[in-house]
């Protein structure tokens, strides 16, 4: 099942994921995919994050409108801001099928991007999806307990300002991009969401 949450705080979305994970574990649900944008903007640190990859003191981030959260997904530090599509996958996992699960999601995103005219690829050496040397999508899951949480964050029409405050995913010098920048026209989160939903 797919649920649209619109603009929602990080904490509220995390609580919905945790509640749904319990329902899946208890056999009360077959799982849910949540489509949303985070507002206010938030910087999240995954389990492998290096705190120095946030480039300004945390106490100043609030004055710039950013919350900071330590989260259970893998990976380093990233930003979620309005105009970025976040998709959380709270789904049961088959034993030994983690790679198949993640690859299926990434291929769906690549297909949705291609349908709009953006050629993106997955790089095993660098997390996420890339358009040449520009990163367009961040990926991070919590796959413990045979039920997934977290997921993807795809830059659609966000300002990218938050990425100047961090070392994105711990990759120094990385260039970030959006669907709108790549196409040279405004693309809404809704437009991209519609392309992705029927591919999942």
Q: What value does the mean pLDDT take over residues 51-73? A: 89
- What is the model's pLDDT at position 102? 92
Task: Say yes or no to pLDDT of 168 above 80.
Answer: yes
- What is the model's pLDDT at position 58? 80
Least confident of 134-138, 144-148, 186-190: 144-148
Confidence of residue 138 (pLDDT cuts 50, 70, 90): very high
Sign of CA dihedral 113, 128, 45, 168: negative
Q: What value does the mean pLDDT take over residues 18-25? A: 96
| Host H or E run for residue 42 | strand 42-45
- What is the model's pLDDT at position 57? 86
- What is the model's pLDDT at position 59? 82
In sequence order, what are the residues at sequence separation of 6 or more whose Cβ sits closer than 8 angstroms to the Cβ of residue 198?
A: none
SS (H, E, C) 158-179: CCCHHHHHECHHHCCCCEECCH
Catalytic site residue 169? yes
Q: What value does the mean pLDDT take over residues 121-131? A: 89
Confidence of residue 96 (pLDDT cuts 50, 70, 90): confident
Q: Which residues pair with 86 in a beta bridge?
A: 36, 153
Task: Say yes or no to pLDDT of 111 above 90.
Answer: yes
**Total tally of structural domains belonging to the chain:** 1
Q: What value does the mean pLDDT take over residues 191-198? A: 97
Q: What value does the mean pLDDT take over residues 82-110? A: 94
Which residue segment(s) compose the domain that 170 sits in? 2-197
Q: What is the CATH number of the domain that holds 192?
A: 3.30.930.10
Q: Do 56 and 79 form a contact (C-beta atoms < 8 A)?
A: no
- What is the model's pLDDT at position 135? 96
The C-alpha atoms of residue 134 and residue 149 are separated, in whole angstroms, by 26
Q: Do 179 and 155 form a contact (C-beta atoms < 8 A)?
A: yes
Q: Which of 169, 179, 187, 189 is catalytic?
A: 169
């Amino acid at each position: 099942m797919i649920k649209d949450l619109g603009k929602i705080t990080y904490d509220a979305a995390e609580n919905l994921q945790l509640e749904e994970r319990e329902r899946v574990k208890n056999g009360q649900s077959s799982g849910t995919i949540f489509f949303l944008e985070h507002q206010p903007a938030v910087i999240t640190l995954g389990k492998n994050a290096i705190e120095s990859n946030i480039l300004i003191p945390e106490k100043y981030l609030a004055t710039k409108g950013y919350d900071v959260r330590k989260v259970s997904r893998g990976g380093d530090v990233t930003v979620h801001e309005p105009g970025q599509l976040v998709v959380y996958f709270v789904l049961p996992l088959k034993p030994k099928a983690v790679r198949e699960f993640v690859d299926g999601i990434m291929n769906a995103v690549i297909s949705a991007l291609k349908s709009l005219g953006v050629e993106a690829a997955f790089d095993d050496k660098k997390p996420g999806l890339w358009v040449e040397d520009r990163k367009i999508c961040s990926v991070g899951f919590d796959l413990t307990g045979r039920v997934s949480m977290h997921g993807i964050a795809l830059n659609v029409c966000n300002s990218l300002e938050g990425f100047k405050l961090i070392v994105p995913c711990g990759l120094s010098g990385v260039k970030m991009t959006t669907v709108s920048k790549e196409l040279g026209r405004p693309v809404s989160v809704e437009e991209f969401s519609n392309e992705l939903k029927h591919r999942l």
